Structure 1
């Protein structure tokens, strides 16, 4: 289980440092329905990560024929493919970064996020965590890492929980802090939102580059 935890830590951190969901939850917290929407967004985010991880873990385990001796060649090849995909996404993020002096263009859905209902916020959280290409790639890589090392059901569940906790912490912390001390944290959240908006592409490109190289390295080592 220690190997699986070590393998998923950088990937889970990559999920946690995704600027878009952090910006989305901050905007929700500043909206009239902020409390309810942000909580359901967090629940959707957690559920999306957990579902993808669980499904991939259940599929990869039997398919790879993994055992305690280490990952199979099938799992290693999948890791290499996911690592290459992460590098491609890093390149695309870097190419799309704002030029010096250019105002960052945020997704159109963020303009209407202050009107989002709790139900829609839940769906948005699930979509951003489980279907967004960047996060989906990382969650798939996490599921492969967990399912390819021959863990029993209990051990796999523990590793999945650790991944979900790490991957959700940057969304959960603003929500909890806001609910506990709204007036104190609101200015800091606004500053964080502005910084993430300006540096979103650069942060994600570097992050995906590092994680992509790491995943490819793990895959090559397992062949």
Structure 2
């Protein structure tokens, strides 16, 4: 369970879309406070999913081969296949360099970084919380839920694993927030460069992430279902 939560937590924290939005949020007026609310809402989503799963299981993992155990593995298999299919779909729809260049030029005219920061300036802290819920990679979080089914709350290790999963899945956001608080000037420039790099590599990062995590979830689920 620990290894599975570790990999899923890495998949969540490295999702480029929430990171890019969070960097913009930090660059806006009252960005530190909005970033804090974003992180709290992000964590609340993870904790709520975990709490609902544990409420369903009672904190005791279902016996192997039981309907709940088999159902959780089947759900994890379906999510893995879905991630693979999504990655393949995005790969097939990848545009040619000419189309990407034209689209990028149009996007830069229609939605410049300054215009995006201006929108974030007008955003309230409650909207920042809603943005965190909207940008949560729910497919990957659902995969984490199928693993949490096996958590045994009679052991301290399970509490530590669940706590570690929540922190790991939020680690990139926490690092950016702390960096902005401790070194605001340096953070502003470096986070801008990070956002530019993510924008340039967003598509391949999403494709590779979906394929790697999806293939691993699929293989792991098939192994557990057949062993």
Report the CA distance shift for 1:48/1:202 in structure 2 as closer, same or farther (over 3 A).
same
In the alignment, the residues of structure 2 paired with residue 62 and residue 27 of structure 1 have an alpha-carbon distance, to the nearest angstrom, of 39
The number of residue pairs the alignment matches comes to 211
In the alignment, the residues of structure 2 paired with residue 53 and residue 95 of structure 1 have an alpha-carbon distance, to the nearest angstrom, of 34
How far residue 150 of structure 1 moved from its aligned partner, in angstroms, is 4.8
SS of equivalent residue, structure 1 residue 148: coil
In the alignment, the residues of structure 2 paired with residue 5 and residue 57 of structure 1 have an alpha-carbon distance, to the nearest angstrom, of 16
How far residue 117 of structure 1 moved from its aligned partner, in angstroms, is 1.2
Provide the residue aligned with 1:142 in structure 2: 144
Is 1:46 matched up with 2:43?
yes
Is 1:17 matched up with 2:14?
yes
Q: 1:170 aligns with which of 169, 172, 186?
A: 172
CA RMSD, Structure 1 to Structure 2 (Å): 2.8
Q: Is the 8 A contact 2:80 2:214 kept in 1?
A: yes
Q: Is the 8 A contact 1:50 1:160 kept in 2?
A: no
**92-101 vs 190-199, greater mean Cα deviation:** 92-101
How far residue 64 of structure 1 moved from its aligned partner, in angstroms, is 7.6
Counterparts of residues 159-198 of structure 1 (less than 5 Å): 159-198=161-200
Q: Tell me which structure has the larger Cα radius of gyration.
A: 2
How far residue 43 of structure 1 moved from its aligned partner, in angstroms, is 1.0
How far residue 33 of structure 1 moved from its aligned partner, in angstroms, is 2.1
Q: Is the 8 A contact 2:84 2:210 kept in 1?
A: yes
In the alignment, the residues of structure 2 paired with residue 13 and residue 57 of structure 1 have an alpha-carbon distance, to the nearest angstrom, of 22
Report the CA distance shift for 1:93/1:152 in structure 2 as closer, same or farther (over 3 A).
farther
Provide structure 1 residue ranges, at least 5 long, that are not aligned to the other structure.
130-134
Provide structure 2 residue ranges, at least 5 long, that are not aligned to the other structure.
none
Report the CA distance shift for 1:49/1:62 in structure 2 as closer, same or farther (over 3 A).
closer
**Normalized against structure 1, the TM-score is what?**
0.83
Q: Deviations over 1:18-45 (max 9, x none)?
A: 1111111110111112121111111111
How far residue 203 of structure 1 moved from its aligned partner, in angstroms, is 0.3
Is 1:127 matched up with 2:134?
yes
Provide the residue aligned with 2:77 in structure 1: 80
**Normalized against structure 2, the TM-score is what?**
0.81
